[in-house]
Amino acid sequence: MKATAKAHPNIALIKYWGKRDQKFNLPAVGSISITLQEMATVSTVEFQPDLKDDILILNGTKAKQIESKRVSNFLDLIRAEASFDFRAKVNSENNFPTGAGLASSASAFASLAVAGSRAAGLALSKSKLSELARRGSGSAARSIWGGFVEMKIGERSDGSDAVALQLADENYWDVGVVVAITSEKYKNIGSTKAMNDTARTSPFYGQWVFSSQKDLEEMRSAIFSRNFHKVGELSEFSCLKMHAVTLSARPGIIYWNKVTIECIECIRQLRKNNTAVYFTIDAGPQVKALCLSKDKNLVKRTLQKIKGVKNVIINSPGSGAEILNE
Ligand code: DP6
């Protein structure tokens, strides 16, 4: 009744922002991501018949109640599927800052889906694992797979077709994702609340949803033809469009700090000087630079020089979530 799994976060090139259903956590738009190899979450789940409550240890310390509750709710789905009611001890560790816009919820819930279902004795397919991970966090559905991944919006009301699938594996393309960390603090508004507030109040939300279909089609074809400039251009477009719709919520939600802007300017300057590099930013102030693998050290050195950049992590395309030991 114990299993350990490892999962990597992913960075969306075409963003997920908005839900069509809260209960099953169904996305209002599809999304496309790259899984990031050098960043990871390792989670162990152990169901114990004599435990009264679930216990969550996050990065070595007892988690806050809000985080424990979210994990307990997630474990309830596994318990229901396995038809038992044992509580669990969960230990989860990230090798990167948690809750700071670095997709820690993606790697956390992907690793919990894999470890939790195995510990409960369930043998789930990758598609079922993706569906389960989505209930924990929408972006986690993508981290079940490695490489380039597409999250389908799905049509069914129970969400059984709102799952991620792999477009190309981690060896398909020698690209790098250089992550510049500009703040290690918890973000002041989580993505779930922020996207719901945006959907409710932004005058541009309908257009965001409507225009996403074309972005997905173009990104898919840019990946399949290995057109790096097109992938990069679309990534910046989807990122800025997501932040624009978020800025237009009431009250407006601002995830960036001044170092975020400096990183954007630096990346665009590198591009003017003929390095193929593009940025994307999730619900937080960190900047992810997408480049060809041969340029990743140059991009790292350049971003590192910016005052206020706390750390820079180089990633290659990562593998899917997996069991570490039984
Ligand atoms: C900006 O997956 O964290 O990173 O489903 O509510 O848990 P919930 O949201 P979450 O949102 C991720 C938003 C994003 C874009 C993306 O990863 O596609």
**Alpha-carbon 219 to chain mean position:** 18
Q: Helix (H, G, I), strand (E, B), or coil: what is residue 110?
A: helix
Closest CA to 13 of 246, 256, 280, 322: 280
Name the residue at shortest CA distance from atom 4 of ligand 1. Answer: 282
- Give the residue among 48, 44, 43 at the shortest CA–CA distance from 1: 48
Give residue-wise pLDDT tens across range 88-145: 999 999 987 766 667 679 999 999 999 999 999 999 999 999 999 999 999 999 999 9
* Ligand 1 nearest atom to the CA of residue 140, by list position: 2
Protein residue with its CA nearest to atom 3 in ligand 1: 191
Q: Return d(Cα 287, Cα 279) in angstroms, integer.
A: 7
- Pocket residues: Cβ below 6 A from ligand 1: 12, 15-17, 25, 31, 105, 137-139, 191-192, 282-283
CA of 228 to the centre of ligand 1 (A): 24
Residues 6 or more apart from 125 whose CB is under 8 A from it?
none
Give the position, in ligand 1's atom list, of the atom nearest the Cα of 195.
6
State whether residue 37 is helix, strand or coil. Answer: coil
**Out of 1-5, 123-127, 183-187, 258-262, least confident range:** 183-187
pLDDT higher than 90, residue 38? yes
- Number of Cβ within a 10 Å radius of residue 69: 13
The pLDDT score that the predictor gives to residue 188 is 79
The whole-number pLDDT of residue 101 equals 63
- Could you please report the per-residue DSSP string of 137-149? -GGGGGGGS-SEE
Q: What is the DSSP letter of 309?
A: -
Are the CB atoms for 28 and 18 separated by under 8 Å?
A: yes
Question: What are 18's two structure tokens?
Answer: 């908005």
